[in-house]
Amino acid sequence: LTKAVSKGVIHVIDDEINIVSMASGALERDGYQVHSFTNTSIALDDIETTCRQMVSMIITDIRMPCHNGFEIARKTRAIVPEVPIIFMTVFEINLSEFNAVFPSLKGANLLQKPFHIDQLLEIVRKYES
């Protein structure tokens, strides 16, 4: 991955306000710059215009109104091809199966809900190196 996560903006997107608050609060306390959204259209607008060059990671729910997490991931990858994508999901999904089924989202990661803050930070820090 070309850009260290800490040098850019992490976008946290989920239609559940509690998840967004918990995740963005934890990331900010850990020193990351975070843009958080419960509205997917506004999130996409922010990614496509305001933050075009600053997007360093997308952490998104899968099922949301208007735009699902896959749409957000694909549209972001069209702008920033190697941006890390982390899907938050209620499923227990085998990551290698997921990556094989979704080759266009190469290297995407998964965070199973409900998750602990430590799990979130651990997965984000993996992209720091």
Partner 1 sequence: LEDVFDIRRILMAESVIRIGKNVMRGSVELPTRQHAMLLYNDNTNPDSSMIKYVNEALKRGHLVAYMPIDSDYESSKSRMAAEITDYEEHVDHGNLFTLNSKPFYETAVAGSTDLFEELKVLLEEMIQERTGSEKGNKVVLHSGCAADLTLNDKFDECIILEKWWQRTHAEWMQKGLDVTLFCPHSNSKLNQKEFSNYRKGIAYLHTITQEAIQH
* Footprint on this chain of partner 1 (rule: CB under 8 A): 62-63, 68, 70, 89-94, 96-98, 100-104
Nearest residue (CB) to partner 1, 34 versus 108: 108
Smallest distance from partner 1 to CB 115, Å = 15
Smallest distance from partner 1 to CB 19, Å = 14
Residue with tokens 């990858």: 77
Distance CA 27, CA 35 (A): 10
Smallest distance from partner 1 to CB 18, Å = 16
Nearest residue (CB) to partner 1, 98 versus 115: 98
Q: Hey, CA dihedral for 113, 114, 117, 119, is it positive or negative? A: negative
Query: Cα–Cα distances in Å, from 21 out to 12, 33, 43, 71, 76?
Result: 9, 14, 15, 22, 22
Nearest residue (CB) to partner 1, 17 versus 101: 101
Nearest residue (CB) to partner 1, 21 versus 99: 99
Residue 102 buriedness (CB in 10 A; 0-12 / 13-18 / 19+): middle
Smallest distance from partner 1 to CB 54, Å = 26
